[in-house]
Amino acid sequence: MNATLATVLYGLVGLLALASAIGFVLGRRAKSPEAVKTVENLNARIRSWWMMVIVVGGAIALGDTVTITLFALISFMALREFWTLTPSRRGDHVALFLSFFVVLPIHYLLLADEWYGLFVIFIPVYAFLMLPAIATLAGDTNDFLARGAKVQWGLMLTVYSISHAPALLLLDTGVPAALLIVYLIIVVQLSDVFQYVWGKLIGRTRLSPSVSPSKTVEGLIGGGLCAILAGTFLYGMTPFSPLQAAGMSAVIVTAGFFGGFVLSAIKRDLKAKDWGTIIEGHGGVLDRVDSLTFAAPLFFHMTRYWFTM
Amino acid sequence: MTALIRRFLVVLVRILVGARGDWQGCEPDTRRRVYFANHGSHFDTVAVMAALPWEVRRLTHPVAARDYWGKTRLRRFIAEILLRAVLIDRQPVPGSQPLAPLEKLLEEGRSILIFPEGTRAEGEEIAPFKSGIYRLALAFPDAELVPVHLDNLKRILPKGSWLVVPITCTARFGAPIQVGPGEDKVAFLKRAREAVKALGRPA
């Protein structure tokens, strides 16, 4: 394992140990029922963070194949959460089966095979044409346009977009690609955490109660700036200069924000609060990777365009 | 060995379709109960069983149709050995006692799981209930009749398909019901069906 990567992973473990300690102290101090509830939620989140750092950090430390496999599993679980909440009809059955067991594996195999040309067009060209074509064979034309769009959006958000995080492994930027994946995830997730913390501390003005009741303007600005600052300081992990790292972090934070916002809007449309129940305090897998769905493809393509040799 | 395969089956079902138990109207309990659920696919028996905690599951026997589950040796093994199911005739010979094996289990203090629709419904709606549950309710007035709603099962494995789509299924357990004083068969069956249907809309 690369020395920088090791330092970063140990740093994360240290950070979480600190968070756990703070959570423990807060838990002993909390008196009012409301405070107890907030601290309990905070501690549940910290416990989940341990799990996520161990799983994702472990996979990345174990190498490219394990990393790609892990993201394929994340996509699988996210796609499952998407279809658990999104209604479908009998006529979509084969298209759904193919999404899970043919399109998703082929897409990630193309990534493992480093076949970039087909990797970027397989879902938006071949899957998007093939799946509605197969759905016509069932003969059900009710809501056909909307149903086709759901099948496509499900794959786009949960498989295609998310896979652009491990796709960073394809890029030769002069630094180990695993570091770029960790960098992307750190900035995206720190942005979420900082927005949550700032929102809890000074959040007053709701950004859009109809889409995401917990998001506030203060949280967004304070949290976003903190995440950009953190991303700038971590420029040593990347091929970017400090200024470039700030710009990249700003893109990650902005895209990540809209990723979370768009997935919240879909959740509201489906009348759900969370995508799932698998991660304690966080909801489902898709609740945790929602920001990544928008941040990963943008970060990938900007890095590929400007920083590959 | 059988216990190991059983455990494996439960884990497999949990991975494949989630099979999470959501206890809305009662808590898991080992007391004598008749669980009755909507029927959507071949998965629903295993889905409910996997959603029950182990202590409850080992005392609960699903009821399965002999004409399907008794047909081949493999199906028989899955049903009778792995799921501890009781096979009954859907079209009983006139004069026979099709419910006798269930009554025997309930007399022993065990719980059973039935699908009162009798067959997997074609459409979105829950089919009208058959009368077996009413007769069991009269014969065992102290047994708790627990409605169970399984969502998404028709989307996981619809009738006529062998392709499993791994959508998550939640088994929602509602508040127990009983036959009211002087309540007739039609009214009770309708109420039982409504109890299952109401769980389909999450609170």
Model confidence over B172-203: pLDDT tens digits? 999 999 888 888 899 999 999 999 999 886 54
Query: Which residues in chain B are closer than 8 Å to A277, comparing Cβ atoms?
Result: 20
User: pLDDT value at position A111?
Assistant: 97
Query: Which residues in chain A are closer than 8 Å to B163, comparing Cβ atoms?
Result: 93-94, 97
CB-CB neighbours of A12 under 10 Å: 19
Task: Return the residue matching tokens 């039982």.
Answer: B192
Question: Rounded CA gap, B17 and B6, in Å?
Answer: 16
- CATH number for the domain harbouring residue B19: 3.40.1130.10
Mean pLDDT rounded to a whole number for chain A? 92
CA atoms within 13 A on the CB side of A150: 21
Average pLDDT of span A100-114: 97
User: pLDDT value at position A280?
Assistant: 66
pLDDT digits (tens, 9 = 90+) for A112-150: 999 999 999 999 999 999 999 999 999 999 999 999 999
pLDDT digits (tens, 9 = 90+) for B124-143: 678 888 888 999 999 998 88
pLDDT digits (tens, 9 = 90+) for B139-160: 998 889 999 998 888 888 888 8
Asked if residue B95 has pLDDT above 80, the reply is no
Residue A215's region, left for phi above 0, alpha for psi from -120 to 50, else beta, is beta
Crossing angle for the helix pair B100-107 and B132-139, nearest 10 degrees?
A: 30
Average pLDDT of span A157-179: 95
Interface test with A, best of B165, B169, B170, B172 (most A CBs within 10 A): B165
**B7: confidence class by pLDDT, cuts 50, 70, 90:** confident
**Minimum mean pLDDT among A281-290, B87-96, B173-182: which range?**
B87-96
- Count how many domains chain B has: 1
User: pLDDT value at position A281?
Assistant: 65
Q: What is the ipTM of this complex?
A: 0.81
The stretches of chain B forming alpha helices (DSSP H) are 2-17, 44-51, 54-57, 66-69, 73-76, 100-107, 132-139, 153-156, 185-199
The type of residue at A8 is V
For chain A, the structural domain boundaries read 1-62, 172-309
A141-180 b/e (C-beta count within 10 Å ≥ 16 → b): eeeeeebbebbbebbbbbbbbbbbbbbbbbbebebbbbbb
**B60: confidence class by pLDDT, cuts 50, 70, 90:** very high
User: pLDDT value at position B91?
Assistant: 76
Asked if residue A200 has pLDDT above 50, the reply is yes
Mean pLDDT rounded to a whole number for chain B? 85
Which among A96, A276, A277 has CB closest to B165?
A: A96
Q: B167 vs A94: CB contact, 8 Å cut-off?
A: no
**A59: confidence class by pLDDT, cuts 50, 70, 90:** very high
Which secondary structure element, helix H or strand E, spans residue A268, and what is its range?
helix A242-269
User: pLDDT value at position B123?
Assistant: 64
Average pLDDT of span A79-105: 94
Highest mean pLDDT among A28-32, A236-240, A279-283: A236-240
Query: Which residues in chain A are closer than 8 Å to B150, comparing Cβ atoms?
Result: none
Evaluate whether A183 touches A244 at the Cβ level (below 8 Å): no
Average pLDDT of span A183-187: 95
User: pLDDT value at position B124?
Assistant: 67
Q: B164 vs A84: CB contact, 8 Å cut-off?
A: no
pLDDT digits (tens, 9 = 90+) for B39-53: 877 778 888 888 888
Find the length of chain A.
309
User: pLDDT value at position A290?
Assistant: 93
Which among B158, B163, B168 has CB closest to A80?
A: B168
User: Which residues 132-171 in chain B show a CB within 8 A of chain A?
Assistant: 152, 154-155, 158, 161, 163-168
Q: A93 vs B155: CB contact, 8 Å cut-off?
A: yes
Note down the domain range covering B141: 2-199
Which among A81, A84, A93 has CB closest to B158?
A: A93
